[in-house]
Amino acid sequence: MDTPAAMRIGQSLAAMGQVDADDPDAFNHCFAEINGIRMHYVDEGQGPLVILLHGFPYLWYMWRRQILALAEAGYRVVVPDQRGFGQTDRPDAIEAYDMSQAVGDMVGLMAAVGETSAVIIGHDLGAWVAQASAMLRPDLFRSLVMLNTPVPPRGKIKPTVALQAMAKGRVYHHLYFQQLDKPDRELANDPRKTLRSVFYSISGNAVGAERWRLFVEPGEPILNAFTEPKGEFPSWLSARSLDYYVAEYTRTGFTGALNYYRCRDRNWEITAFLDGAVIRQPSMFIGGAADPSLEPAEIRGFYEQLDTCLPGLRKKVLLAGVGHSAAEERADQVNELLLEFLEQLERSGLRSAL
């Protein structure tokens, strides 16, 4: 879409069939002025629109193998760097990262690419944004998929209060990130070590003491919860891919991403009108059976009862041996599940609406 609002740059190698999925330049990169910020996104393929939202500490790039598979299958795939990440603007104010702004970005992105309906798919932090988008704008987002993070309903008490109760005197990472400056500096001190440690410890490859600890003790640095792997990284993340992540976070730092967590209570305060609301659009959840984030009883219990707030839930699956990075760790399996879900939408007569 070549307009003042949305600008394509470069030539898509993916569209020409000459694809190295690990090469970030092998995709069609675009920029648009959206909701008061300049947003970077990748736009590939033609057909019904699918929007993919990354988690933390990821970027649009985490979806590179899904972009190719979905575009080849006949879908238009739009994948942004969310605000605060990568090549998208990073506003200074913490409140600029609340869900009203994040959903506003998705609405603006839809307008920028000239579409009026989409399947929205989110991982981790992106699952929160995808869930809120589907909740608030069902006219635009007609179907929802969440990866690795089953987003709970609003709840009766503030999130930080609930998380403190769950932590039982320890510090859950969402609570750790409420601090200003300290986690930003700790994560940015050595981005390569940070990302290697996080990506490995949350994956299905980490075992025993290597696995991500969801809670740290008071005063303990957050990076103590992760283990940097010895030697080369598991094959699902190439050296080139890790280099891309490291270069981007070295350039941007982590503050924009962490500000989403600092809005947890704010999001609760501004969404009283959503108390008791459910998402009725067709939906699916894909997780990892070895995902440490599902270990707390409170979170696992919500996963077990996911259909109570997703009455349109068509499938939920935990992939064996997979941790918190399903799209990276088992790209082929995730692609198969996504395509199966999208094909079911077509057969049920929803493709014309997408």
The two three-digit tokens of residue 286, written as one number? 């894909």
Q: Is 124 a catalytic residue?
A: yes
The two three-digit tokens of residue 152, written as one number? 């709970």
What does the CA dihedral 76, 282, 62, 325 come to, rounded to 10 degrees? -160
Look up residue 256 and give its amino acid. G
Q: Whole-angstrom Cα distance, residue 317 to residue 314?
A: 10
The two three-digit tokens of residue 108, written as one number? 């603006």
Q: Is 324 a catalytic residue?
A: yes
**Helix, strand or coil for residue 142?**
strand
Look up residue 240 and give its amino acid. R
Helix (H) or strand (E) holding 126, with range, is helix 125-136
Q: Whole-angstrom Cα distance, residue 269 to residue 138?
A: 22
What DSSP state is assigned to residue 207?
A: -
Helices (H) and strands (E) in the chain, counts: 13, 11
Whether 76 contacts 47, CB under 8 Å? yes
CA-based radius of gyration for the chain: 19
Of the candidates 42, 19, 18, 38, the residue with the CA atom closest to the CA atom of residue 29: 42
Helix, strand, coil abundance in the chain, percent, nearest 5: 45, 15, 40
Q: Which member of 29, 54, 123, 324 is catalytic?
A: 324
Give the pairing of strands 6-9 and 37-44: unpaired
Whether 68 contacts 14, CB under 8 Å? yes
Q: Which member of 89, 98, 124, 291 is catalytic?
A: 124
Write out the catalytic residue numbers: 124, 324
